[in-house]
């Protein structure tokens, strides 16, 4: 390579060189062959087997330049010739090959929903009604099912289709969006779960679809449009795992070559051939995890497909987002693989060029699910022309074919019209079935079927080859290459790597576990070995397990997040689903064990639990096994639930019962008899029981202090200081006359636990739960694990009167336009482009010119900085359409981001000017930027999304009616009439792309319109319509700059100017394109790159500069050619003239520039309306929250039903109110992810200055307020009435006051969740802080550790700052004030007075000092003392005052206000949007 190219960094120059890849392949063959003694047979054997493993040997780059292959003196290796000779040798040696031709006959696919079926978005109101109606509807469905066999209505989305594709052939599937291309590919690939029914006969080398799915899964694969990978694995690890599950057994490798050597050599070769060795140790990444580039990620998908060694491959629009040269490279590589390895390849592509089209053997054209053509590509155009369609020689054949199926685009030849030419899908299908081409297909089908039934050569060879590939011990009937134990081993290694490599998660989880342990240890520091330390020891054990419950709860969402990966890899035949369950369990053991061990060490020894080695290790054993059991429980729920919200509802049922029925808060003998069974099926109760028995079997306690009755109060000296004969110890298990209480006795009396059960019951049952939940996970993932719906179906909002009227008008316009006579192409677009015609031409008279000079951009990388743009110059004039092109990775999007002022990391240097002057603060508002990522509020309809943009981005003085009319014109222009009420989240890729552009157009940009790959994901006709519209906008005076991929020659010529970049952000050309691309053709021609007349200049110029597989044309780097050219000097001169001319005019008068187009109040109104609608249309989220509140309160109330006036009931009243402290973390768990998802949308919208961050934060809160009040009321109703609140002095008014407290706590939970969300960079980090925050607040509120027992360090600040302190102070004082207490018979402390004294004479002064009452004051024996007489005596020692209740409740409200202010500030200054 020349010196000029060597300056380019290797990572950015990464197209796959076919020749280089073949040399690498040849070298691989030679290396592996050295292990063989028999040169001929073994060498050819390995060639075949390695080719089989690497079924994509020459797959090209999907992202950047070409592979840097060292020059070699060896003769280039001819892969085809070599493998042909190898195959001959293999056949001679009796080695079979996988040649799988595909035949399909009368293939038809149906989905649920009749003709005209529309799915409507469920709403919160509907969810509430549906919940109460569910039992009746279920009963009705049961009756109807019993009396009627009527099946649900279905509709056909793929009509009867027939065809043959032989081994070694490629088929291109074409059609407009919605034609059924993806459905066809999925069905051919045997992916049938998404559909109601699939009929017809599909055979693979004569094997039917059922047998193929059962025994040969992984031999037929489907590569979806999106790349799904584990983001935190490196590229090498991802490939290593794929190979470890699919590499062949000993019979599939050469003798002497171990599995490890084979895997390592193949992995190296694959990375070299795909030209991604530089990414070996780079994370794969995704939208949220920084990793390899998008194109490199596409190559990882290709590598995974290689590892499957599948012989039937279906590629769904895999060139999306690629430039023309790399798209061509990709398909060329598929061609080579198909030829050499005998694969059968189906591909669907949008915007396929003529060069790509010519590489296929067959083309299938679909129209609304009907097969309207299948046959040779060379005959397809003439077939449609013969039907009566106008020949359009300048249009590429794929665009022409799809255009013939589009009612809006097709043109009939002279003398033809829709009346005398087949044009409907049904007519086109019927016409094709009568054609000679179809007859040829039928003949070919019959011949192939006859061969398959009689000879069966390919089928038998295929079966033998699959069998030979299996590892030792794998059943012949197994569809997997690797046995189950091998799968578990490979997955365990992968899952352990995942956990180990997620450093941030590891560090954060360990840090929070240590911090939580220190807090618990500090709160219960050095518990005494006296009666005061007995009950609190139970609290320590309970809190330790509670922390574990919360940590295990995090497993549930992880199961759902990982589901797409599992579905994809199991469909590839890597492993059976059950293997991932065991692998997760095994991989978790070491990391969880270490984390819990550190947690336990701190808690155990800081709190002074029984300090012995046996005691600690037994405690650790029970906490850890309890964690594993609960982890299995939550994972099972995660596998069974469709989404997080449904899982969340289950949690509301299980978690309060798990915690309530451990035996700590309610001892077993006090549990309601009809709920007692929950204790026995609760894994936490056995872990807690075992840990408690372990502690108390080793300890005994001295009775002292508050546990002696009667005792001396302040200034008294009446009673003995130690336990005397006329005093009693009130601690459970105390014996008369003894001040020492054995721990065993205390445990038996207080909790009905027997220390003899520690091993035979507690441990055995806990381990049994672990095994049981492992089994339930295996069953759930194999049989019941729900799959996310894969079919794309639009979901609609119901029309109101206004939208009905507007939609009727749109339908009328569409019908009128369809009926118009459209002879000329210009006439054809006139009806749909009135939008721009209607604009005032004078509005463009004073548009400004946008220029940039010497633009450089450097970003920080490990070890320094990296330059992505170098001295880029150019301009965009009003009324011009400028294209920004280059190979993938050349810096096109980067350049657009820099020019649009969207970058917030790195250093930008150079001049970016508007009319020769620096950019003002209103620049972002005066421009529109349609980004590549289509980020929108998913629950908005198309019309609502467009109106939202128009309302907030067009000037405030524009009337609302005018904005609405403008939106209707955009809908018509972008052909979204049928989707106006469709929800954004349900739109297809191309519809969402059109919406993205529409949202930006709705702003009426005054200065400049930026578009990043606006045609990516669109079919050829949609792309042509869009560019034609942009051309029209430009002609009206709009300045437009857009990046573009894969433009056809017609598309390319629609642009005025081109900025062409090569790798490294170097300028190759900036200037006019000219009619028929004449100007740019001449420029390249005069420097040695002559573009042939029949080649698309957009493709040719990329190849000429070395972006494609072909070497660069010419001896010099094209950036150097540009810098030395007169064209470059003219550009610099013109920029100077533009600036001089602009500066010669007087500067516009200094006006106060507004950052936003509308006022703060108007922004808030519009954004709040959208948020309210989003929540109303998110019933899963809102109803789940309501359901959780109802169930949580109900289950707590059931445990404390109809409380009386005993001391025990007093304690239960306190517990019932304390459970309110658990509400905020439950709210936060659900609310934090929603807030962060909404922030992603806001970040995209904020970059266009649509509305301020203050509006975002306030609107998020206001949207939650009505639902928070509703949830609080439901919780309150189910708390105060079933438990029997309001029996104290405050009565009914007191219960009303409790409602105010509940509402304020609800607000506090919402605001704290939003504050955590605004402070955290990601959901994963935010949710880690929820349990920590919640446990700390719950510990120090004065209930779990009473105020007098708190260590002064905590009591002086954390207790005072805790909002739950104020909550409980307000609630306890209100509920217990004036509440009479009457001890039950077993609650009295019984003691005998000294001889000759009555109970009152002996204990009267004690009662006066400490409160309570004597039940028999005049008795002379068996005095009965009750600890409390009125509820005030309970809360007064806890530093709670009834007179402070209003102060306390408004302190809680003040915390809410603080959270709101902090959230607003965080939203303003913390965006976490690095770009």
**pLDDT greater at residue 209 or residue 6:** 209
What Cα–Cα distance (Å) separates residue 1237 from each residue in 565, 1243, 1314, 1394, 1461?
21, 10, 12, 72, 20
**770-773 contacts, C-beta under 8 A, 24 or more apart:** 770/625, 770/628, 770/629, 770/632, 772/632, 773/629, 773/631, 773/632, 773/633, 773/635, 773/636
For residue 41, pLDDT over 60 is answered with no
**Which of 278-282, 649-653, 792-796, 1166-1170: highest mean pLDDT?**
1166-1170
Residue 1262's pLDDT band, with cuts at 50, 70 and 90, is very high
Q: What is the pLDDT of residue 323?
A: 65
For residue 790, pLDDT over 50 is answered with no
Place of tokens 């037929």: 220
Residue 300's pLDDT band, with cuts at 50, 70 and 90, is confident
For residue 1323, pLDDT over 80 is answered with no
Cβ 695 vs Cβ 603: under 8 Å: no
Cβ 739 vs Cβ 707: under 8 Å: no
Angle between the N-to-C axes of helices 577-606 and 534-553, in degrees from 0 to 180, rounded to the nearest 10: 150
For residue 1245, pLDDT over 70 is answered with yes
Q: What is the mean pLDDT of residues 1383-1391?
A: 89
Q: What is the pLDDT of residue 1412?
A: 92
Of 632, 486, 635, 654, nearest to 562 (Cα)? Answer: 635
Q: What is the pLDDT of residues 1036-1090, one digit of tens each?
A: 888 899 988 778 777 888 899 999 998 888 999 999 988 888 898 899 898 888 8
**Do β-strands 1008-1012 and 1040-1043 pair in parallel, antiparallel, or remain unpaired?**
parallel
- 165: enclosing H helix or E strand: strand 154-165
**What is the percent of the chain where pLDDT is above 90?**
30
Q: What is the pLDDT of residue 683?
A: 93
Q: What is the pLDDT of residues 446-500, one digit of tens each?
A: 888 888 777 777 777 777 777 777 777 777 777 887 888 889 999 999 989 888 8
**pLDDT greater at residue 721 or residue 8:** 721
Q: What is the pLDDT of residue 91?
A: 52
Of 1405, 1228, 1409, nearest to 1314 (Cα)? Answer: 1228
Q: What is the mean pLDDT of residues 857-863?
A: 84
For residue 681, pLDDT over 60 is answered with yes
Q: What is the pLDDT of residues 1393-1407, one digit of tens each?
A: 999 899 999 999 999
C-alpha radius of gyration, the chain, whole number: 37
Residue 597's pLDDT band, with cuts at 50, 70 and 90, is very high
Q: What is the pLDDT of residue 275?
A: 65
CA distance 333 to 602: 59
Of 1169, 1180, 941, 985, nearest to 126 (Cα)? Answer: 1180
Q: What is the pLDDT of residue 141?
A: 74
- Residue 604 token pair: 């155990």
Exposed/middle/buried for residue 957 (C-beta within 10 Å: 0-12, 13-18, 19+): exposed
Residue 686's pLDDT band, with cuts at 50, 70 and 90, is very high
Q: What is the pLDDT of residue 1108?
A: 58
- Residue 255 token pair: 């003798």
Cβ 1382 vs Cβ 1427: under 8 Å: no
Residue 621's pLDDT band, with cuts at 50, 70 and 90, is very high
**Candidate from 94-108, 1169-1183, 1364-1378 with smallest mean pLDDT:** 94-108
Q: What is the pLDDT of residue 1244?
A: 80
Q: What is the pLDDT of residue 53?
A: 34
Q: What is the pLDDT of residue 832?
A: 39
Q: What is the mean pLDDT of residues 1119-1136?
A: 91
For residue 11, pLDDT over 70 is answered with no
| Residue partners of 62: CB distance under 8 A and separation at least 6 | 294, 295, 296, 298, 299, 302, 318, 319, 322, 326, 330, 888
Place of tokens 């390319």: 1052
Our CA angle for 998, 317, 1053, nearest 5°, is 55
SS3 call for 608? coil
Q: What is the mean pLDDT of residues 865-877?
A: 90
CA 1271 to chain centre: 28
Place of tokens 């003439």: 382
Find residue 108's DSSP bridge partners.
199
Of 928, 925, 969, nearest to 947 (Cα)? Answer: 969
Residue 618's pLDDT band, with cuts at 50, 70 and 90, is very high
Cβ 332 vs Cβ 322: under 8 Å: no
**pLDDT greater at residue 604 or residue 152:** 604
Q: What is the pLDDT of residue 54?
A: 36
**pLDDT greater at residue 543 or residue 826:** 543
**Do β-strands 1040-1043 and 795-796 pair in parallel, antiparallel, or remain unpaired?**
unpaired
What Cα–Cα distance (Å) separates residue 68 from each residue in 65, 632, 980?
9, 50, 50
Q: What is the pLDDT of residues 307-329, one digit of tens each?
A: 787 889 998 887 776 666 767 77
Of 809, 831, 812, nearest to 821 (Cα)? Answer: 831
Q: What is the pLDDT of residue 365?
A: 94
Q: What is the pLDDT of residue 67?
A: 36
SS3 letters across 340-409: HHCCEEEEECCCCCHHHHCCCCEEEEEECCEEEEEECHHHHHHHHHHHCECCCCCCCHHHHHHHCCCCCC
**Candidate from 214-228, 615-629, 1176-1190 with smallest mean pLDDT:** 214-228
Q: What is the DSSP string of 758-826?
A: IIIIIIHHHHHHHHHHHHHHHHIIIIIPPPPP-S---EEPPP-HHHHHHHHHHHHHHHHHHHS---SHH
Q: What is the pLDDT of residues 1212-1221, one digit of tens each?
A: 999 999 989 8
Mean pLDDT, the chain, rounded, equals 82
Q: What is the pLDDT of residues 348-378, one digit of tens each?
A: 987 788 888 999 999 999 998 999 999 999 9
CB atoms near residue 635 (< 10 Å): 25
Cβ 495 vs Cβ 590: under 8 Å: no
For residue 337, pLDDT over 80 is answered with no
- Residue 414 token pair: 């002279």
Cβ 332 vs Cβ 57: under 8 Å: no
Q: What is the mean pLDDT of residues 136-157?
A: 75
**Candidate from 144-148, 247-251, 396-400, 972-976 with smallest mean pLDDT:** 144-148
Residue 976's pLDDT band, with cuts at 50, 70 and 90, is confident
Residue 1374's pLDDT band, with cuts at 50, 70 and 90, is very high
DSSP state of 954: S
Q: What is the pLDDT of residue 791?
A: 47
For residue 68, pLDDT over 50 is answered with no
């Amino acid at each position: 390579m020349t010196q000029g190219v060597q300056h380019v960094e290797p990572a950015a120059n990464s197209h796959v060189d076919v020749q280089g890849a073949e040399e690498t392949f040849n070298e691989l063959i030679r290396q592996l062959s050295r292990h063989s003694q028999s040169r001929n047979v073994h060498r050819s054997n390995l060639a075949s087997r390695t080719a089989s493993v690497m079924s994509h040997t020459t797959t090209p780059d999907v992202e950047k330049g070409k592979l840097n292959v060292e020059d070699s003196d060896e003769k280039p290796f001819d892969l085809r010739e070599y493998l042909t000779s190898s195959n001959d040798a293999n056949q001679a040696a009796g080695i079979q090959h996988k040649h799988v031709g595909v035949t399909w006959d009368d293939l038809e696919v149906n989905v649920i929903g009749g003709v005209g079926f529309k799915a409507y978005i469920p709403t919160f109101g509907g969810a509430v009604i549906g919940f109460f109606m569910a039992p009746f509807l279920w009963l009705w469905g049961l009756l109807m099912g019993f009396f009627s066999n009527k099946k649900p209505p279905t509709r056909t989305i793929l009509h009867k289709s027939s065809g043959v594709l032989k081994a070694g052939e490629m088929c291109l599937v074409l059609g407009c969006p919605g034609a059924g291309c993806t459905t066809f590919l999925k069905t051919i690939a045997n992916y049938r779960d998404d559909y109601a029914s699939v009929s017809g006969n599909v055979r693979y080398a004569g094997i039917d679809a059922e047998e193929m799915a059962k025994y040969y899964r992984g031999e037929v694969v489907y590569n979806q449009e999106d790349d799904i990978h584990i983001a935190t694995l490196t590229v090498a690890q991802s490939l290593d795992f794929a190979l470890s599950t699919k590499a062949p057994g000993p019979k599939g490798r050469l003798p002497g070559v171990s599995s490890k050597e084979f895997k390592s050599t193949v992995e190296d070769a694959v990375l070299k051939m795909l030209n991604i060795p530089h990414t070996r140790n780079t994370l794969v990444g995704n939208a949220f995890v920084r990793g390899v580039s998008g194109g490199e990620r596409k190559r990882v998908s290709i590598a995974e497909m290689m590892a499957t060694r599948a012989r039937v491959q279906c590629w769904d629009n895999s060139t999306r987002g690629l430039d023309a040269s790399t798209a061509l490279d990709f398909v060329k590589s598929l061609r080579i693989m198909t030829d050499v390895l005998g694969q059968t390849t189906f591909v669907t592509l949008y915007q396929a060029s003529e060069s790509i089209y010519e590489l296929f053997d067959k083309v299938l054209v679909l129209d609304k699910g009907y097969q309207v053509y299948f046959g040779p590509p060379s005959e397809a155009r003439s077939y449609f022309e013969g039907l009566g369609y106008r020949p359009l020689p300048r249009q590429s054949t794929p665009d022409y074919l799809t255009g013939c199926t589009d009612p809006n685009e097709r043109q009939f030849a002279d003398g033809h019209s829709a009346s005398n030419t087949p044009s409907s899908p049904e007519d086109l299908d019927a016409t094709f079935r009568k054609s000679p081409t179809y007859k040829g297909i039928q003949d070919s089908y019959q011949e192939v079927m006859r061969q398959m039934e009689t000879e069966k050569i390919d089928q038998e060879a295929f079966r033998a080859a699959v069998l030979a590939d299996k590892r030792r011990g794998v059943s012949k009937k197994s569809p997997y290459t690797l046995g189950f134990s091998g799968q578990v081993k490979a997955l365990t290694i992968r899952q352990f790597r995942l956990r180990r490599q997620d450093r941030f998660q590891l560090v954060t989880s360990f840090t929070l576990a240590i911090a939580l342990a220190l807090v618990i240890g500090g709160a219960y520091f050095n518990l005494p070995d006296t009666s005061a330390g007995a009950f609190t020891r139970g609290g320590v054990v309970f809190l330790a397990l509670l922390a574990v419950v919360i940590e295990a709860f995090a497993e549930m969402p992880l199961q759902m997040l990982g589901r797409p990966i599992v579905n994809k890899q199991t469909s590839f035949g890597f492993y059976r689903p059950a293997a991932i369950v065991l692998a997760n369990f095994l991989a978790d053991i070491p990391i969880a064990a270490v984390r819990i061990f550190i947690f336990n060490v701190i808690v155990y020894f800081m709190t002074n639990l029984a300090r012995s080695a046996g005691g600690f290790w037994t405690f650790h054993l029970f906490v850890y096994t309890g964690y594993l059991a609960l982890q299995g429980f939550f994972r099972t729920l995660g596998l069974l639930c469709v989404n997080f919200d449904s899982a969340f509802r289950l949690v509301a049922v299980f978690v309060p019962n798990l915690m309530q029925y451990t035996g700590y808060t309610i001892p077993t003998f006090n549990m309601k008899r009809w709920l007692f069974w929950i204790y026995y099926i609760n894994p936490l109760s056995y872990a807690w029981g075992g840990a408690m028995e372990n502690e108390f079997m080793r300890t005994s306690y001295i009775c002292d202090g508050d546990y002696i009755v009667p005792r001396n109060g302040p200034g008294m000296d009446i009673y003995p200081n130690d336990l005397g004969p006329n005093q009693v110890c009130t601690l459970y298990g105390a014996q008369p006359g003894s001040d020492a209480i054995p721990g065993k006795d205390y445990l038996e009396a207080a909790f009905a636990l027997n220390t003899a059960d520690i091993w035979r019951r507690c441990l055995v049952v806990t381990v049994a739960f672990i095994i049981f939940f492992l089994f339930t996970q295996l069953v759930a993932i194999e049989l019941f694990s729900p799959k996310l719906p894969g079919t794309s179906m639009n979901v609609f909002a119901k029309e109101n009167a206004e939208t009905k009227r507007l939609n009727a008008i749109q339908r009328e316009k569409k019908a009128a336009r369809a009926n118009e006579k459209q002879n000329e192409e210009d006439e054809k677009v006139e009806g749909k482009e009135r939008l721009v015609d209607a604009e005032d031409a004078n509005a463009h008279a004073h548009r400004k010119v946008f220029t940039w000079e010497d633009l450089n951009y450097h970003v920080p990388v490990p070890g320094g900085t990296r330059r992505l743009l170098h001295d880029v110059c150019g301009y965009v004039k009003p009324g011009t359409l400028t294209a920004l092109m280059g190979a993938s990775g050349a810096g096109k999007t980067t350049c657009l981001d820099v020019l649009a002022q969207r970058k917030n990391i790195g250093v930008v240097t150079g001049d970016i000017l508007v009319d020769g002057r620096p950019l003002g603060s209103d620049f972002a508002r005066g421009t529109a930027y349609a980004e590549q990522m289509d980020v929108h509020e998913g629950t908005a309809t198309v019309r609502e999304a467009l109106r939202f943009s128009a309302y907030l981005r067009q000037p405030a003085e524009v009337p609302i009616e005018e904005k609405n009319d403008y939106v209707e014109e955009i809908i018509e222009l972008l052909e979204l009439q049928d989707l106006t009420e469709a929800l954004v989240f349900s739109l297809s890729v191309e519809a969402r792309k059109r919406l993205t552009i529409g949202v930006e157009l709705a702003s009426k940009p005054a200065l400049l319109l930026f578009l990043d790959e606006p045609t990516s994901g669109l079919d050829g006709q949609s792309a042509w319509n869009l560019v034609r519209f942009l051309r029209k906008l430009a002609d009206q005076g709009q300045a437009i700059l857009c990046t573009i991929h894969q433009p056809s020659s017609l598309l390319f010529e629609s642009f005025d100017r081109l900025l062409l970049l090569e790798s490294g952000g170097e300028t190759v050309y900036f200037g006019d394109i000219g009619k028929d691309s004449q100007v740019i053709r001449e420029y390249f021609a005069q420097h040695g790159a002559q573009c042939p007349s029949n080649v698309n200049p957009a493709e040719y110029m990329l190849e000429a500069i070395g972006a494609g597989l072909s070497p660069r044309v010419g001896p010099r780097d094209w950036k150097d050619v540009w810098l030395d050219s007169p064209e470059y000097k003219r550009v610099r001169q013109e920029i100077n003239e533009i600036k001089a001319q602009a500066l010669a005019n007087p500067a516009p008068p200094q006006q106060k520039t507004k950052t936003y187009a509308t006022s703060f109040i108007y922004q808030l109104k519009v954004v709040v309306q959208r948020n309210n609608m989003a929540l109303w249309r998110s019933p899963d989220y809102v109803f789940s929250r309501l359901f959780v509140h109802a169930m949580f309160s109900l289950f707590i109330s059931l445990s404390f039903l109809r409380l009386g006036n005993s001391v025990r009931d007093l304690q239960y009243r306190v517990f019932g109110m304390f459970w309110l402290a658990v509400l905020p973390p439950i709210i936060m768990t659900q609310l934090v992810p929603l807030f962060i998802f909404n922030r992603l949308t806001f970040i995209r919208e904020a970059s266009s200055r649509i509305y301020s961050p203050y509006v975002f934060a306030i609107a998020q809160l206001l949207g939650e307020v009505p639902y928070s009040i509703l949830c609080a009321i439901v919780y309150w109703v189910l708390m105060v009435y079933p438990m029997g609140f309001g029996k104290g002095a405050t009565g009914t008014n007191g219960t009303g006051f409790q409602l105010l407290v509940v509402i304020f706590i609800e607000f506090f939970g919402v605001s704290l969740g939003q504050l955590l969300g605004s402070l955290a960079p990601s959901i994963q980090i935010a949710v880690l802080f929820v349990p920590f925050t919640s446990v700390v607040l719950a510990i120090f509120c004065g209930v779990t550790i009473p105020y007098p027992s708190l260590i002064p360090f905590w009591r002086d600040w954390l207790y005072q700052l805790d909002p739950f302190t104020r909550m409980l102070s307000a609630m306890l004082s209100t509920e217990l004030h004036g509440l009479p207490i009457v001890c039950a018979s077993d609650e009295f402390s019984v003691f005998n007075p000294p001889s000759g004294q009555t109970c009152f004479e002996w204990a009267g002064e004690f009662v006066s000092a400490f409160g309570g009452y004597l039940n028999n004051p005049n008795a002379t024996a068996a005095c009965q003392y009750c600890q409390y007489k009125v509820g005030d005596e309970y809360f007064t020692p806890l530093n709670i005052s009834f007179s402070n209740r209003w102060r306390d409740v408004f302190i809680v409200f003040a915390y809410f206000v603080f959270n709101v202010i902090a959230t607003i500030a965080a939203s303003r200054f913390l965006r976490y949007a690095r770009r």
